[in-house]
Amino acid sequence: MDLDWSSIFSPEVEPLEIFLRGTFMYWFIFIALRLAGRRDVGSLGVADMLVLVLVADAAGNGMSGEYKSLTNGAVLVATLIGWTVAIDRIAYFCKPVGRWLTADRVCLVADGQMCRRNMRKEYISKDELMSELRQQGIEDIGEVRRAYIESDGNISVIKRA
């Protein structure tokens, strides 16, 4: 078996084109997931899930030979990770942008009463909410001072005194 070492490391597509394609796909999927809400994401943030899927696909293409050059896959992976790091930094240092990039917590229970409008907004049924409360050792909603769905999709509960 004779390997053509130059073709393995020589990009077949311009790195700028790969960067632009990676940038477009990152932002398209990020915005789509942000608009879709945070249901069923659990403790994995939307941006984390997005990067995980995109990097796995990009790296897979580079490793399996979909790209003839490893450089193409490496440029795409670097683009995706670069956007993730940049967004984290921007959200940290620029609070208005950070508020847009991350979801706010939403109150589901206030003083023992379900906030039905917020539950509808987050597509959470009464049964789902009660299931989450039971998992946290709460049998009666009257025991809850506040319950929030957090930006990562988890439900946090503050019990009454």
Single out the residue in 82, 101, 120 at which a domain terminates: 101
Q: Which two tokens stand for residue 140?
A: 């009666």
Q: How confident is the model at residue 41 (pLDDT cuts 50, 70, 90)?
A: very low
Domain with 154 in it:
106-159
Single out the residue in 78, 101, 124 at which a domain terminates: 101
Within this chain, do residues 32 and 97 fall inside the same structural domain, yes or no?
Answer: yes
Give the model confidence (pLDDT) of 89-143 as tens digits.
898 899 898 888 777 889 999 999 999 999 999 889 999 999 999 999 999 999 9
Within this chain, do residues 72 and 136 fall inside the same structural domain, yes or no?
Answer: no
Within this chain, do residues 26 and 49 fall inside the same structural domain, yes or no?
Answer: yes
Within this chain, do residues 82 and 27 fall inside the same structural domain, yes or no?
Answer: yes
Single out the residue in 67, 86, 101 at which a domain terminates: 101
Within this chain, do residues 16 and 85 fall inside the same structural domain, yes or no?
Answer: yes
CB 160 within 8 A of CB 145: yes
Helix (H) or strand (E) holding 145: strand 144-149
Distance from C-alpha of 140 to C-alpha of 62, rounded to nearest angstrom: 53
Integer-rounded Cα radius of gyration of the chain: 22
Please check the confidence at residue 39 and state whether its pLDDT lies above 50.
Answer: no
Distance from C-alpha of 36 to C-alpha of 18, rounded to nearest angstrom: 27
Q: How confident is the model at residue 40 (pLDDT cuts 50, 70, 90)?
A: very low
Q: Which two tokens stand for residue 1?
A: 């078996």
Within this chain, do residues 19 and 51 fall inside the same structural domain, yes or no?
Answer: yes
Give the model confidence (pLDDT) of 7-32 as tens digits.
777 777 788 887 887 788 778 777 76
- pLDDT value of position 86: 85
Number of domains composing the chain: 2
Q: Considering the entire predicted model, what is its pTM? A: 0.56
Least confident range from 66-70, 99-103, 119-123, 152-156: namely: 66-70
Give the CB-side neighbour count of residue 109, counting CA atoms within 13 A: 25
Distance from C-alpha of 117 to C-alpha of 148, rounded to nearest angstrom: 13
- pLDDT value of position 67: 58
